[in-house]
């Protein structure tokens, strides 16, 4: 298995049919926002030299549930598994986390992981967190909640070599497909769900769920060359 091209995308239920188009961030299947509105969902990340910060955006709620063999956010309580892993300063404001001031200490070693409150979630009473870790190859597991419904979750996992320090995002959106091609069944199906890995503002990798009969429900990583072309090639990702 080529772990550099590895991802997992499964869902607990089948989504209802959509007639939406465009490359758009997900804020629920019934409420689609433009990609530029991602900033409204993101609080302030305070990067530290030599570290990697990673967060997830694009849906009502998302959680980094696991990094490597370390559990981060519990999927049942939606809170950090280990309170000692949380770095929240005394002046942390739970009602408006984006306005907090932080003076964070560097990680102790290459295996250290910290989680930091980022912003209030689109789900009432929940908080989005981002994770701090050291640059190296990591396996990241994320739960995305595209609807305002905790019973519907999309699970995504990937292995990526974080060579450079900096801020990364795993961003969910819906990929535009051609309404002029495909069968009536295909054109009536939901627009494909995709995840982009961004380093700063640059897309590093892109994964999209497949709707075709041959690879129904599978998650495929697409090449980053000429990705806006209809002739874009893709590569099947081995799943767990």
Q: d(Cα 118, Cα 129) in Å, to the nearest integer?
A: 5
Its pTM stands at: 0.71
What DSSP letter does each residue of 103-132 carry, written as one string? Answer: -PPPPSSTT--EEEEEEE-SSTT-EEEEEE
Instruction: Give residue-wise pLDDT tens across range 30-86.
Output: 333 333 343 444 467 888 999 999 999 999 999 999 999 999 999 999 999 999 999
Instruction: Give residue-wise pLDDT tens across range 191-231.
Output: 778 999 999 999 999 998 877 656 556 678 988 764 443 33
Instruction: Give residue-wise pLDDT tens across range 102-160.
Output: 567 899 999 999 999 988 899 999 999 999 999 999 999 999 998 889 998 888 999 99
Q: Which helix (H) or strand (E) holds 160?
A: strand 154-161
């Amino acid at each position: 298995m080529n772990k550099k091209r590895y991802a997992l995308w499964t869902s607990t239920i089948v989504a209802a049919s959509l007639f939406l188009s465009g490359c758009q961030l997900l804020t629920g299947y019934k409420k689609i926002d433009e990609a530029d509105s991602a900033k409204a969902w993101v609080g302030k990340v305070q990067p530290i030299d030599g570290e990697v910060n990673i967060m997830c955006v694009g849906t009502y709620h998302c959680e980094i549930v696991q990094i490597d063999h370390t559990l981060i956010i519990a999927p049942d309580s939606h809170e950090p598994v280990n309170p000692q892993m949380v770095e929240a300063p005394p002046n942390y404001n739970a009602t408006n986390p984006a306005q907090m001031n932080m003076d964070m200490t560097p990680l102790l070693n290459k295996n250290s992981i910290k989680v930091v409150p980022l912003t209030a979630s689109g789900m009432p009473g929940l908080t989005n967190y981002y994770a701090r870790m050291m640059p190296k190859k990591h396996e990241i597991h994320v739960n995305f909640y595209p609807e305002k419904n905790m019973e519907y979750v999309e699970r995504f996992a990937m292995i990526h070599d974080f060579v450079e320090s900096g801020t990364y995002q795993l961003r969910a959106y819906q990929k535009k497909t051609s309404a002029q091609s495909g069968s009536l069944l295909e054109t009536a199906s939901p627009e494909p769900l995709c995840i982009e890995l961004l380093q700063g503002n640059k897309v590093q990798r892109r994964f999209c769920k497949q709707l075709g009969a041959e690879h129904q429900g599978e998650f495929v990583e697409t090449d980053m060359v000429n990705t806006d072309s209809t002739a874009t090639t893709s590569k099947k990702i081995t799943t767990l």
